[in-house]
Amino acid sequence: MIKQLTIIGVGLIGGSLARALKRAGAVDEVVGAGRDAQHLQQALSLGVVDRIETDLAVAVQGADIVVVATPVGATETVFRSIAPGLSADTILTDVGSTKASVVAAAQAAFGQLPENFVPAHPIAGTEKSGVEASFAELFEGRRIILTPTENSAPQAITRVRAMWEQTGAKVVETGVEHHDDVLAATSHLPHLLAFSLVDTLAQLDAKQEVFEYAAGGFRDFTRIASSDPEVWHDICLHNSSALLKMLERFEADLDKLRQAITDNDSDYLLQVFRRAKAARDQFCGD
């Protein structure tokens, strides 16, 4: 049982975590914290949190667990703000999509990596944002990746793992660098491509017809371009090294496809399409 859970940034992820733990009867009190009092009041009105606070140092006082659910670009500022209010027993974790930058933020803010600090990343979400889009079932059957640091205490890791398991999620552990490499390929690059494609088409003279005639495939591929721009701006900047490696690889393969079309190389096109279909069916079949 978590007596007090403080969530800093009560949006889709933070709000859904609060809802899931309340549904499971795993938390006594949820404190919602952030800089936007109106947004926090909405979370309170919806019953997502039990108490709200705009002073982050005050918000974390007495908390068993503190979850930072802000865009990753704000992480160091948040860590510095909460440092005066954290007790030695408070467990600190986050939900950021980049982990090396979060670990670096903790090092910079606290001077060393706290023993009770356990970075985490729920592989869950929708293209919608805000507390009004949160729902208790978001994490059911989804993976939560923990990336403990070398200083993370075993009991802190166990506590964070148990918290996420209460939401119905499957919890795994991996290294910080490996996490960022994998997520650059499977999440960050696809979002970058979706945003870029929609932006390209939106600048066409015939954009009205382009979007009116868009079929299901276009809508499926570009759905994630409706995601929170601030969140993805921060992710691209804070995982730039891994993302650039994947982008260069993708560009090279895209150049091969362009050349195959130029050369009318039907064999190569079929090979790529068949390999892609087989891989998609094997690993992501639904």
Q: Give the pLDDT confidence of 230-276 residue by residue, as tens digits.
A: 999 999 999 999 999 999 999 999 999 999 999 999 999 999 999 99
Q: Give residue 286's pLDDT band: very low, low, confident or very high (50, 70, 90).
A: low
- Spatial separation of the C-alpha atoms in residues 228 and 281, rounded to whole Å: 29
Closest by CA to 242, choosing from 156, 181, 200, 286, is: 181
- Mean pLDDT confidence for 102-110: 98
Burial of 267 (0-12, 13-18, 19+ CB in 10 A): exposed
- CB-CB contact of 91 with 160 (8 Å): yes
Q: Give residue 211's pLDDT band: very low, low, confident or very high (50, 70, 90).
A: confident
Q: At what angle do helices 240-262 and 266-284 cross, to 10 degrees?
A: 140
Domains of the chain in start order, with CATH, are 2-174 (3.40.50.720), 178-284 (1.10.3660.10)
Helix/strand/coil percent split, the chain, to 5: 55, 15, 30
Instruction: For the chain, give the percent of residues with pLDDT over 70.
Output: 99
Residues 168-189 as b or e (16 or more Cβ within 10 Å = b): bbebeeeebeebbbbbbeebbb
- CB-CB contact of 120 with 170 (8 Å): no
Is the predicted pLDDT of residue 285 greater than 90, yes or no? no
- Spatial separation of the C-alpha atoms in residues 133 and 141, rounded to whole Å: 19
Stated as kind and residue range, the H or E segment containing 275 is helix 266-284
- CB-CB contact of 59 with 33 (8 Å): yes
30-76 pLDDT tens trace: 999 999 999 999 999 999 999 999 999 999 999 999 999 999 999 99
Half-sphere exposure of 263 (CA within 13 A, CB side): 11
Q: Give residue 213's pLDDT band: very low, low, confident or very high (50, 70, 90).
A: confident
Q: DSSP string covering 126-181, please? A: -S--SGGG--TTTTTT-EEEE---TT--HHHHHHHHHHHHTTTPEEEE--HHHHHH
- Spatial separation of the C-alpha atoms in residues 143 and 15, rounded to whole Å: 18
Considering the entire predicted model, what is its pTM? 0.91
Backbone angles phi, psi at 27, to 5 degrees: -145, 140
Quote the pLDDT of residue 126.
Answer: 87
- Spatial separation of the C-alpha atoms in residues 136 and 169, rounded to whole Å: 11
